[in-house]
Amino acid sequence: MQWTHLAVALGGVLAVTWLGLIDFAWTDYDIEARPAVDALTSGDVGFLGQAPAYGGSLILRAPFALAASALGGGDLAVFRAVSIPCAMAVAILGLVIAGRMLREGRSRGACLLVVALAAANPVTITALEIGHPEELLCGALAIGAVMAAAREKTLAAAVLLGLALATKAWAVLAIGPVLLALPARRLLALCVAGTVCSVILAPLMLGGSSDTVVHAARQTGAFFHPWQVWWPLGEVTNLDVMGEFRAGARAAPAWLSPISHPLIALLAVPLSLMYRRRNKGNLGGEQLLALLALLLLLRCMLDPWNNVYYQLPFLLSLLAWEALCRAERPPLLTMGATLATWIVFEYLHDQHPDLLFAAAMAWMAPLAAWLARECFAPGLRLPRRRRAAQPAYT
């Protein structure tokens, strides 16, 4: 490991946590996770029944919460203690990828850029501010599972996949890429991943959080944000999800909430099978990171609840694919997608919702189509426009 890589990674983690973990009041952490964390640090086993849908991630981060509390830290210290490990996870992912790049003879500048995009992504700051650091942890685990599978490390891939599944339900999208990347013993890997996930989630199920987990997996509720494909189908109400006036705001149609999450999960099956058929005999190992990136981008586009922190796992998987499979160029695609995410979700946030929908689809849809071509028709290239023959002059 290069000391410069480590310095950039630590500096990136310090920067994003310093800017993103200033306070937790009125955030999703305050509303969803804090009651369970408070009960945990108080020694009340009832915290299992208060855990949110992503309670598995709280179990994984419980030692950090307990350590901060035991050392005399208050609520803010505990909030930071359970968030910083998630930022560290993506920094470690960046270091692993950069180490691989360096061994393959890539330039140090490209390696440093990959570490910086992983550890100090500006979208990470917003995710921490909102109170969803677990998205970082789940993304790092899912990507690590695909990378381990591509290196024929079956047990490591299975354990990482199981941890990702326990952290957050959307990790089911990584099952296909992981199994396809494994050359053999896929059933064993699936069994190990299921066992790891079950062991972690079992206390939550026994503690009474099963209804919360199942409900979140099936439905999106009343949330209906403009950064997704269903937006034009909503009814204009001019009221946001908090009941406050916002011109152009829409409400989700009643039929959409029960089908969107199952649709996203089920879509992974035909796309994974299509990838296998199109690439039969040469599944490509780490090239499957492109399939993971496509599935995670479709998750963002098809989820009525799509929010800025949903983009992070997609951006990380896109970064890993570019860094490991496109050696001829730096990760410019990830840089562009990161910039587009920041502009659409942050810079334009207060604009008319219809404009936000158009701006989001203007880059998400073409990128999804391009990734689909890379996954299912990598040899296909659009014909270049021929220039008209120039007359010869004598």
3-state helix/strand/coil string of the chain: CCHHHHHHHHHHHHHHHHHHCCCCCCCHHHHHHHHHHHHHHCCCCCHHHHCCCCHHHHHHHHHHHHHHHHCCCCHHHHHHHHHHHHHHHHHHHHHHHHHHHHHCCCCHHHHHHHHHHHHCCHHHHHHHHHCCCHHHHHHHHHHHHHHHHHCCCHHHHHHHHHHHHHHCHHHHHHHHHHHHHCCCCHHHHHHHHHHHHHHHHHHHHHHCCHHHHHHHHHCCCCCCCCCCCCHHHCEECCECCCCCECCCCEECCCCCHHHHHHHHHHHHHHHHHHHHHHCCCCCCHHHHHHHHHHHHHHHHHHCCCCCHHHHHHHHHHHHHHHHHHCCCCCCHHHHHHHHHHHHHHHHCCCCCHHHHHHHHHHHHHHHHHHHHHHHHCCCCCCCCCCCCCCCCCC
> Does residue 385 register a pLDDT over 50?
no
pLDDT at 387: 43
Instruction: Reduce the secondary structure of 270-321 to three states and give it as a string.
Output: HHHHHHHHHCCCCCCHHHHHHHHHHHHHHHHHHCCCCCHHHHHHHHHHHHHH
pLDDT at 86: 97
Q: Model confidence at 47, in pLDDT bands (50, 70, 90)?
A: confident
pLDDT one-digit tens code per residue, 286-320: 999 999 999 999 999 999 999 999 999 999 999 99
> Does residue 321 register a pLDDT over 90?
yes
> Does residue 191 register a pLDDT over 70?
yes
> Does residue 50 register a pLDDT over 90?
no
Span 184-206, average pLDDT: 93
Span 198-219, average pLDDT: 70
Q: Which residue has the higher pLDDT, 378 or 12?
A: 12
> Does residue 386 register a pLDDT over 70?
no
pLDDT at 279: 77
pTM of the predicted protein model: 0.92
Distance CA 117, CA 101 (A): 15
pLDDT at 379: 64
> How far separated are the first and last CA of the chain, in Å rounded?
63
Span 54-78, average pLDDT: 94
383 lies in some domain: no
> Does residue 392 register a pLDDT over 60?
no
For the purposes of burial, counting CB atoms within 10 Å of the CB of 90, is it exposed (0-12), middle (13-18) or buried (19 or more)?
buried
> Does residue 214 register a pLDDT over 60?
no
Compute the Cα dihedral for 42, 48, 50, 53 and give only its sign.
Answer: positive
265 lies in some domain: yes
Span 181-186, average pLDDT: 91
Span 28-41, average pLDDT: 92
Q: How far are the Cα atoms of 143, 284, 325, 374, 382 from residue 378, in angstroms, in the given order?
A: 21, 11, 13, 4, 11
Share of the chain above pLDDT 70, in %: 91
> Does residue 78 register a pLDDT over 80?
yes
pLDDT at 220: 56
pLDDT at 364: 98
Lowest mean pLDDT among 94-103, 215-224, 276-285, 343-352: 215-224
pLDDT at 380: 62
382 lies in some domain: no
Lowest mean pLDDT among 14-18, 143-147, 209-213: 209-213
Spatial CA neighbour of 199 closest among 188, 191, 189, 208: 191
Mean pLDDT of the chain: 89
343 lies in some domain: yes
Q: Which residue has the higher pLDDT, 48 or 284?
A: 48
Distance CA 370, CA 113 (A): 23
Sorted by sequence, the CB contacts under 8 Å of residue 225 that are 6+ apart come out as 231, 304, 305, 306, 307
pLDDT one-digit tens code per residue, 349-368: 999 999 999 999 999 999 99
Distance CA 337, CA 301 (A): 14
pLDDT at 242: 74
pLDDT at 46: 79
Span 64-90, average pLDDT: 96
> Does residue 179 register a pLDDT over 50?
yes
pLDDT at 221: 60
183 lies in some domain: yes
Share of the chain above pLDDT 90, in %: 74
Span 161-176, average pLDDT: 96
pLDDT at 327: 80
Span 247-272, average pLDDT: 91
394 lies in some domain: no
347 lies in some domain: yes
The domain in which residue 78 lies consists of: 3-376
Total domains in the fold of the chain: 1
> Does residue 229 register a pLDDT over 60?
yes
pLDDT at 51: 86
388 lies in some domain: no
Is the CB of residue 74 less than 8 Å from the CB of residue 7?
A: no
